[in-house]
């Protein structure tokens, strides 16, 4: 049981700020060696949009609640050895993808000290808690439309720095990754707000609004010159430790109604309607869809097949499944939380997010897939979890655009 001090002195606050700034500087320094800005780099820019599954630290620099921040221990403890703002014990999916693409760690848009040279290899615009709808956690996050606006600022900066021709080549050759929708569907249940759009529309219409906003942003980026896109679908939200605890399913299993139904409807429309339509309508549009939901479910139900010991309980938190979002003590009234001894054995790091180990495995799956263990394949769980392009193919296509 860890019991952090809830009343930080000004000196301790200053020290924590210095740690975060140092962390950002160390990440940039490591990028130059590990990420390969030199001869090893593919030269393909990587732009990242979405929520806490992808946020590399933008929420460190906005006025928000601790619910939407991860810039305090024990976050980051197993790889960076300090909190970076990532909702994990270590790295996230984009960090591993960047490594495979021989790119540096992609910096958060709001990270102090960023300049257009840092951003030439890509930018992370994602914000924990963000949704496709402006109304989702409004005022506490950087919504998807604002993230698009930030991308346009980068595009303008690239043009001023590189000139129109080189800027256009950078944008058209770039890869654009999205994880969005989870917060749109969870927020009405987490906030218990009767003013939510969900309570004034059918499930079908609500999902349509989320996907329409995502589509509009994708088309806007396409209009800027973007052609290569990566999409994560939405996990079965009723299986996340926090939602299982909140929804109080009496049998202790995943909550399959309401929030999970929204996720399933979103995923079905994204894969069978939205993305195929974009591919038909937009010349040169190429995409990779990562079935995050299936990948996560396989590890929940068969953790040992993936070298994990625990597929349901989180490593950090309190309560059943450690589903109380108290990791770090700042989100809990009692300021107490539990942390497992070995996060590498766990699928979930906290009550909503995954471990460095889980993200590493998933990144390998979508970069250059191999068949999953046969025992994890069912009639409702397809063999392939990424397509029609793998990420390796997509980055290769970006090089030869």
Among candidates 281, 282, 229, 235, which has minimal Cα distance to 388? 229
d(CA 299, CA 373): 11
Residue environment code for 108-147, b if the CB has 16+ CB neighbours within 10 A, otherwise e: bbbbeebeeebbbbbbbbbbbbbbbbeebbeebbbbbeeb
Which residue among 51, 350, 356, 360 is the active-site one? 350
d(CA 104, CA 100): 10
- C-alpha pair distances (Å), 74 with each of 39, 171, 238, 295: 36, 37, 25, 26
Which residue among 52, 127, 288, 332 is the active-site one? 52
Phi, psi of 363 (to 5 degrees): -60, -40
Burial status of residue 225 (CB atoms within 10 A of its CB: 0-12, 13-18, 19 or more):
middle
- Residue 350 known to be catalytic: yes
Which residue among 326, 353, 356, 360 is the active-site one? 353
Q: Would you name the residues annotated as active-site residues?
A: 52, 350, 353
């Amino acid at each position: 049981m860890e019991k952090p001090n809830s009343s930080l002195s000004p000196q301790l606050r200053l020290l924590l700020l210095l740690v975060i700034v140092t962390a950002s500087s160390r990440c940039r320094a490591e990028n130059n060696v590990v990420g390969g800005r030199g001869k090893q780099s593919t030269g393909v820019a990587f732009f990242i949009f979405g929520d806490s599954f992808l946020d590399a630290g933008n929420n460190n620099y906005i006025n928000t609640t601790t619910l939407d921040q991860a810039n305090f221990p024990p976050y980051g403890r197993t790889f960076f050895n300090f909190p970076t703002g990532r909702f994990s014990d270590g790295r996230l999916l984009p960090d591993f993808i960047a490594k495979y693409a021989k790119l540096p760690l992609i910096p958060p848009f709001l990270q102090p000290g960023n300049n257009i040279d840092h951003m030439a290899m890509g930018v992370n615009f994602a914000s924990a808690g963000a949704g496709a709808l402006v109304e989702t956690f409004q005022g506490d996050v950087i919504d998807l439309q604002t993230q698009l606006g930030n991308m346009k600022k980068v595009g303008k900066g690239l043009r001023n720095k590189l000139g129109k021709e080189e800027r256009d080549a950078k944008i058209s050759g770039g890869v654009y990754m999205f994880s969005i929708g989870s917060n749109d569907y969870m927020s009405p249940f987490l906030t218990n707000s009767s003013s939510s759009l969900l309570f004034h529309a059918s499930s079908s219409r609500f999902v349509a609004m989320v996907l329409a906003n995502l589509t509009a942003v994708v088309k806007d980026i396409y209009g800027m010159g973007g052609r290569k896109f990566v999409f994560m679908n939405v996990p079965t939200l009723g299986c996340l430790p926090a939602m299982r605890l909140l929804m109080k399913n009496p049998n202790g299993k995943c909550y399959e109604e309401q929030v999970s139904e929204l996720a399933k409807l979103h995923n079905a429309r994204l894969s069978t309607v939205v993305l195929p339509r974009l591919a038909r309508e937009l010349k040169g549009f190429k995409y990779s869809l990562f079935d995050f939901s299936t990948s996560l479910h396989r590890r929940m139900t068969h953790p040992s097949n993936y070298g994990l010991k625990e597929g349901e309980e989180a490593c950090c938190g309190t309560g059943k499944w450690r589903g109380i979002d108290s990791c770090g003590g700042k989100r809990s009234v009692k300021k107490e939380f539990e942390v497992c001894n070995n996060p590498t054995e766990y699928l979930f790091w906290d009550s909503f997010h995954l471990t460095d180990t889980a993200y590493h495995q998933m990144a390998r799956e979508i970069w250059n897939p191999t068949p999953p263990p046969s025992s994890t394949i069912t009639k409702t769980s397809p063999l392939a979890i990424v397509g029609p392009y793998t990420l390796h193919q997509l980055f290769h296509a970006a090089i030869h655009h």
